[in-house]
Amino acid sequence: MSTTALGPQDTQRTTGTAGRPAGGLRVTFPRVVHMEWIKLRSLRSTLYTLAITVALVIGLGLLLSSLVGSGEGPGQDDFSDPTSISLGGVNLAALAVAVLGVLMSAGEYATGSIRGTLAAVPARLPVLWGKVVVFAVVSFVLMSVAVLGAFLAGQSVLSSRDMATAALSDPGVFRAVIGAAVYLTGAGLIGLAVGVLLRNTAGAITTVVGALFVLPGLIQLLPSSWNDAIGPYLPSNAANAFMTVGSSGDSLSAGSGFAVFAGYIVVLLAGAAVLLKRRDA
């Protein structure tokens, strides 16, 4: 300890009236949101991860936009349209955001700080909703900036290379760009919910990565009738339906894709809420 001895006068302050905070103390939902906001901003690792994710979305979008069709990188056929070229970093970024979501919930179980949190907010559910609000707002704002930046920068690179470009005012383009921010935010919320369900960081990350990124590939190995029946309803494929400008034959429409994707999040969060309320902390 680098601190010096505590005299009796230090301890007396606890019992004195001076230490008692002013009235009006109670738990309210905005206060729980404030708690979660302080937790999020006070971890350097979280801030770095968010910054790296934004950089990833913009950087990969720029890279793909300057490489596509040049013979070195992916060909133009790999992308359905100019918008998807500039949003090429979104899938990798979704991985980072999903992990961040897991850390925000399962991380509290790993360190044991969840008990302090639930002792301060014994009603429990406000803690989950507080995390959802803080995470959703922060990631949606940052990811919107990232995908808009990636889109605008990517289109200007494509335009400078005399390639086809898209404008936000073109049909479906704005929806696809904001859809990418929705997908990123949603991937994080799925991570957050699975983190509460499993209460184990490694297990939750494996589960989320498997469901979002590995499963779509595995499904393609199944007979095509199965693939056609199941494939479009996987979370990442459903999200793809509202992140792409046009819609291909075998995927859902943008609207149903969003409904399915949102459905996953709602169901997972509901399950997380039930277990958080019921289980021993």
Partner 1 sequence: MIEVNDLSKRYGDKLAVDALSFAVRPGVVTGFLGPNGAGKSTTMRMIMGLDRPSSGTVRVNGRPYEQHKAPLQEIGALLEAKAIHPGRSAYHHLLALAASNGIGKQRVLEVIDMVGLTEVAHKRAGGFSLGMGQRLGIASALLGDPRIVMLDEPVNGLDPEGVLWIRNLLKDLADGGRTVFVSSHLMSEMALIAEDLIVIGRGRLLSAGPLADFVARSSRRSVRVRSPQAASLRDLLTGDGVAVSSDEPGLLHVQGLEAAEIGERAAAAGVVLHELFVQEASLEEAFMELTRDAVEYHATTTELATAGRTNR
In our burial notation (b when 16+ CB lie closer than 10 A, e otherwise), range 188-227 reads: bbbbbbbbbbbbbbeebbebbbebbbebbeebeeeeeeee
Is residue 120 part of the contact set for partner 1 (CB under 8 A)?
yes
| Cβ nearer to partner 1, comparing 67 with 118 | 118
Of residues 74 through 113, those in contact with partner 1 by CB under 8 A are 107-108, 111-113
Is residue 116 part of the contact set for partner 1 (CB under 8 A)?
yes
Q: Which of 54, 87, 121, 252 binds partner 1 (CB under 8 A)?
A: 121
CA distances from 21 to 13, 17, 26, 276 (A): 12, 9, 12, 30
Phi, psi angle pair for 25, to nearest 5°: -80, 120
Q: Which of 32, 128, 158, 254 binds partner 1 (CB under 8 A)?
A: 32
Give the ranges where the chain is alpha helix by DSSP (H): 8-15, 29-41, 44-67, 82-86, 90-111, 113-120, 125-160, 173-198, 201-209, 215-219, 224-230, 235-243, 254-278
| Cβ nearer to partner 1, comparing 3 with 225 | 3
Total residues contacting partner 1 by CB under 8 A comes to 52
Is residue 11 part of the contact set for partner 1 (CB under 8 A)?
yes
Is residue 196 part of the contact set for partner 1 (CB under 8 A)?
no
Least distance between partner 1 and beta carbon 229 (Å): 41
Contact indicator for 175, 77 with CB cutoff of 8 Å: no
CA dist., res. 53 & res. 140, Å (int): 12
Q: Which of 92, 115, 226, 266 binds partner 1 (CB under 8 A)?
A: 115
Least distance between partner 1 and beta carbon 120 (Å): 5
The per-residue DSSP string of 146-161 comes to HHHHHHHHHHHHHHHT
Is residue 137 part of the contact set for partner 1 (CB under 8 A)?
no
Residues near partner 1, by CB under 8 A: 1-6, 8, 10-16, 19-22, 24-28, 31-32, 34-36, 38-39, 42-45, 107-108, 111-113, 115-124, 278, 280-281
